[in-house]
Structure 1
Amino acid sequence: MSDESGSRTRKPAGAAVMQPQVTAAIRAAAFEELAEAGYGKLSMEAVARRAGVSKPTLYRRWSSKEELVTALISEVAIDAADSPDTGTLRGDIRAFLEFSAHALTNPLVARIIPDLLAQAVRVPALREVMQSGIGRSRRAKVAQILHRAIARGELPETLNIELALDFLGAPLFLRVMLGGDPTTPTYLDQLTDMLLTAFGATTP
């Protein structure tokens, strides 16, 4: 009788993984392990140990390292794609570039992204989340910058949105991969001007 009563008052076995502090600890641990070991050598055991949680706690929420990594990467990458609305195309692009540049040069991110891109060639689920779950979702958010500018009359309605999105993301990524610094104000200002010209913007 007491056992039955106790079962009604106990929290569900998986409740701990839903606590914000536990989720935050696991997220931080997963990214640190990715940066240090890479996806290929990443293990659920190492993430749990670094996060200070039990393996069952981790496995109750994510059944594999593949599921863990794709879920966390998707969440962080898509959240980071929120498009700024400064009221002008120039302001929006400049703010987006600055935020993206600092995100790409984060020490953890700078070590994780190249490894994930390489691993995505061999891991179908990872490739899918990089291309669809992250790529398309991020592009849809960033596209809001361009759609707002078209509505304001700052960009032509004939603008190739998909190609413009490539232009917005590629220069920063390439500069980081080649060891350059994309965060300097001069570089970001010049890149903003060049993008406005390429897009046929009517704003000064």
Structure 2
Amino acid sequence: MPDPTVNRRPGRGPRAAEAIFDTTLRHLAERGYARLTIEAVAQESGVNKTTIYRWWPSKPALLRAALIHARVLDIDIPDTGSLRGDLIALTEQITRLLTDGRTEPVARAMTAGTGLPDDELAALTRDFFADRFSREQPVFIRAAARGELPADTDPMLLLDLIAGAVWMRVLLRREPVPPDFARDVVDAVLPR
């Protein structure tokens, strides 16, 4: 589903966009996708629902924008000078997102998408991960230029293995993350 904010000039969004995104994500975490409503988001964000509908004409469009553009879910793409260092830094950021009190419930709610009508939340979750993967591409482009990756390396597989380990440990098994977990995961996955 196209995001109406993507092709807009900077500064041409609702001034309260971040508050709208934060409220949307909180409502997703607290109420689930089925009970998330634009009306409740508007009321709690302090904006008219017409403002939200002007920018995001449906609940899926609003949630997609919140998942992709909310600052609370942002990660910084590292440039440590090595693929190993970059992947450890990414893994640490993923771990923080999945263990932080504000973002962990959002991640947990995102995994509840299957079984909904037309799997709307599952589709939005796929959009979120596709966006993150596209943002992380510089890590692999730089690593290839430095000769750190074999030509047949699948960057998505590497990220799936690394992020999957964090998601499995934190969200599915609900186990604590040891101090060197990011390093250990990257060392187990990175081609030698």
- TM-score between the two structures when normalised by the length of structure 2: 0.79
Q: Percent identity?
A: 31
2:128 aligned with 1:129, yes or no?
A: no
Q: CA RMSD in A?
A: 2.4
Partner Cα distance (2:87, 2:144) in 1: 14
User: Which is further off, 45-54 or 105-114?
Assistant: 105-114
Alignment of 1:148-187 (within 5 A): 148-177=142-171, 178-182=173-177, 184-187=178-181
Structure 1 match to 2:9? none
Mapped partners of 1:91, 1:148: distance in 2: 12
Work out which of the two has the higher radius of gyration on C-alpha atoms and give 1 or 2: 1
Which one of 98, 104, 108 corresponds to residue 104 of structure 1? 98
Query: What is the number of equivalent residue pairs in this alignment?
Result: 178
Q: Are 1:145 and 2:139 an aligned pair?
A: yes
- Structure 1 window deviating more from structure 2 (110-119 vs 94-103): it is 110-119
Q: Deviations over 1:37-77 (max 9, x none)?
A: 11111122211121112222222222222221122112249
Unaligned runs of 5+ in 1: 1-16
Q: TM-score, normalised by structure 1?
A: 0.75
Q: Confirm or deny that 1:47 pairs with 2:8.
A: no
Alignment of 1:56-135 (within 5 A): 56-76=50-70, 80=74, 82-124=76-118, 125-131=120-126, 133-135=127-129
Structure with the higher helix share, 1 or 2:
1
In the alignment, the residues of structure 1 paired with residue 142 and residue 54 of structure 2 have an alpha-carbon distance, to the nearest angstrom, of: 42
**CA distance in 1: counterparts of 2:68 and 2:140, whole angstroms:** 23
Decide whether the 8 Å contact of 1:83 with 1:96 is kept in 2: yes
Question: Structure 1 residue 19: deviation in Å?
Answer: 4.0
Q: Which runs of 5+ in 2 are unaligned?
A: 1-11
